[in-house]
Structure 1
């Protein structure tokens, strides 16, 4: 059966030689045959009439696609390994990811596709990322309760003014699922250089043990810890520990999550994105979750870049504009900060050279699916994308 283009081409000669009445009859017949508007048929006749013979007139509308399917697949792999970074952060870290994967023989893409990946502008990366599927989790429960000992510990007010390493915010993330009764796991999380530690309850002593474990493996000295006003932090155990370690302690205003804007964001990106809102209430799941956090802490600190707001100014009564610095990983900020001793930088650099983002990503994915496979919501969330 002839196509519409072929039928119109056959009728072109008769249409050009016909009278006005005959042209109307030809258009009426083609309208019924091709199910096209007569104005569209006339435009087709005009285009065919003006084209030169012997020239291949394929459809050339628009600019040809430069970043094809191969470049998109390369970008998708790097994007998934980077924990679904935004375009600005992904553009800064892509070269290091490619270098690490090539070093370990895990890069399977052609030189042409690799070159296109490294040449992509931020605008192109944004356009491609907008078509990728993202996972959005539901909300959870608030587990913060009123506490005492609030007159001794001062309240911190105002934003951080780019403090040196050692000024940390601290918070807990509950893994209770839909039921807040009984015992279930919590994750302690500290800001700046991200520290993660799992514990079964929100009691004072397990929280103190978690803080002490994070303090012992910190690559820099702690100067101040700034938790929320929950009883797991605001207690005599942690306060006495801070006095012994010569670490200052402040707290935020009760119920004011905006005072903890940095750590609240990390709760979502560094914990909820991986565990979702499943319930962890047995030792087997907790042990697996601890293994996952050990790898996740390294992955976040060494391979997930972040941006810091360096300037904020008011445009009008209700709108602000912000300017951010160049995206950098916590590892890169650690290496470039003048307050960090040279010996600590050399030790951290040697450890960084042994890491591979894809291996860490795959280990996290494996651990993320194994202990929570019985949870329907998380299983569907992981299977739908093939990853966390």
Structure 2
């Protein structure tokens, strides 16, 4: 059935748009499947207007034709102008009789790209990476709760991206031999293109102007980060294990202060893939010095300047079958660790200094005694 539906839908390539009126959009899915495409997972439907660059993102829990129609209907209500046509890829979620017939019944022109030709949908493919992947990442999202949280993120992203985020738009492309020269219009937000376009009704333009005056870009940006923080807790978690959580409150003063130094740490977002951390403990062999550790500590406390070679010589005398000259490096590391521990005690609280023995009173001069300062010349500074 899907093959027959595909044959009934005309093909439209990247070069066939010819500067259309606002309302003709490219539609694509972005899968939030993580490292495995098996099972059911959340997907994002991305719709990008060709003339203005206005982009809407709608989360879809599963790839079911009824949910696809509901997402398309929701996206129609979000665009500031009526939709005129939709351009799909060859995904079976779009190329089925139910979705295509619904679009045509709503007066939408239905076209599709060529199979395995991503450039035919270059407008929406660029938004897939610049918006969805950049903000949501590549983690796996499953369940209704994750879909709701993802929808909260897109509610803020649509306002920030369409009202305040400038973007380029291709003006012309010229081929000179084997070289292609591209020239672009000056970067402006999508709302500027909508307001400047003669094909948009004046009532829609006035509504957009009121929306622009009402929204605060800093508050929207803080809302994006708060939604990402909430969504990051659900990445790679199954829907049954992720309980309902209240939306995070936006602390605007703290967020604005953090912007001064945010550039130093780079873009660390909770929705992005986390570095691998080993959970299993590393296997550890017992140390050959473990039975003699109390004796070694006693030697070093009695003579802090004792070298590792002298310690090894005493160990060889104590147990020739266990210790040889080849164990010098092991003894050096143990002695160094002990001296670092003692130095830390001296710096932090001085407990080791308090335990130092007190010398007897001097024979002459009436001194009451003093602390014997141990020799720390061999302790690394």
TM-score by length of 1: 0.58
Contact 1:148/1:231 (CA < 8 Å) preserved in 2?
no
- 5+ unaligned residues in a row in structure 2: which ranges? 237-262, 270-381
Contact 2:13/2:121 (CA < 8 Å) preserved in 1?
no
Candidates 148, 156, 172, aligned match of 2:12: 156
Instruction: Identify the structure with bigger relative contact order (alpha carbons < 8 Å, sequence gap 6+).
Output: 1
Distance in 2 (CA, whole Å) between partners of 1:387 and 1:287 is 23
Contact 2:14/2:122 (CA < 8 Å) preserved in 1?
no
Change (3 A) 1:383 1:370: farther
Candidates 211, 216, 232, aligned match of 2:72: 211
Q: CA deviation at 1:316?
A: 2.8
Tell which structure's C-alpha radius of gyration is larger.
2
Distance in 1 (CA, whole Å) between partners of 2:231 and 2:180 is 44
Q: Does 1:191 align with 2:48?
A: yes
Q: CA deviation at 1:207?
A: 0.9
| Corresponding residue of 1:165 | 22
Change (3 A) 1:383 1:367: farther
2:168 counterpart SS class: coil
Q: CA deviation at 1:147?
A: 5.6
| Corresponding residue of 2:84 | 223
Q: CA deviation at 1:383?
A: 11
TM-score by length of 2: 0.59
| Corresponding residue of 1:351 | 211
| Corresponding residue of 1:296 | 157
What is the CA deviation profile of residues 194-225 of structure 1, one whole-angstrom value per residue up to 9, with x for unaligned ones? Answer: 11100111121111110011112322121111
1:368 counterpart SS class: helix
Change (3 A) 1:351 1:232: same
Distance in 2 (CA, whole Å) between partners of 1:363 and 1:387 is 16
Structure in which a larger fraction of residues adopt helix: 1
Q: CA deviation at 1:307?
A: 1.2
Distance in 2 (CA, whole Å) between partners of 1:205 and 1:254 is 24
Distance in 2 (CA, whole Å) between partners of 1:220 and 1:295 is 19
Contact 2:194/2:205 (CA < 8 Å) preserved in 1?
yes
Q: Which residues in structure 2 correspond to 1:310-349 (within 5 Å)?
A: 310-317=171-178, 319-349=179-209
| Corresponding residue of 2:255 | none
Q: Which residues in structure 2 correspond to 1:251-270 (within 5 Å)?
A: 251-270=112-131
Deviates more, 1:331-340 or 1:302-311: 302-311
1:326 counterpart SS class: strand
1:170 counterpart SS class: strand
Distance in 2 (CA, whole Å) between partners of 1:150 and 1:271 is 27
Q: CA deviation at 1:367?
A: 1.0
Q: CA deviation at 1:157?
A: 2.9
Contact 2:23/2:83 (CA < 8 Å) preserved in 1?
yes
C-alpha root-mean-square deviation of aligned residues, in Å?
2.0
- How many residue pairs are counted as aligned between the two chains? 237
Q: CA deviation at 1:375?
A: 4.8
Change (3 A) 1:237 1:356: same
Q: CA deviation at 1:386?
A: 5.7
Q: CA deviation at 1:371?
A: 2.5
Distance in 2 (CA, whole Å) between partners of 1:290 and 1:370 is 12
Q: CA deviation at 1:162?
A: 1.4
Distance in 1 (CA, whole Å) between partners of 2:143 and 2:265 is 26
| Corresponding residue of 1:370 | 230
Contact 2:118/2:125 (CA < 8 Å) preserved in 1?
yes
Change (3 A) 1:369 1:324: same
Q: CA deviation at 1:239?
A: 1.4
Distance in 2 (CA, whole Å) between partners of 1:387 and 1:325 is 32
Q: CA deviation at 1:188?
A: 0.5
Q: CA deviation at 1:166?
A: 0.9
Candidates 172, 175, 181, aligned match of 2:32: 175
1:164 counterpart SS class: coil
Contact 2:13/2:113 (CA < 8 Å) preserved in 1?
yes
Contact 2:14/2:121 (CA < 8 Å) preserved in 1?
no
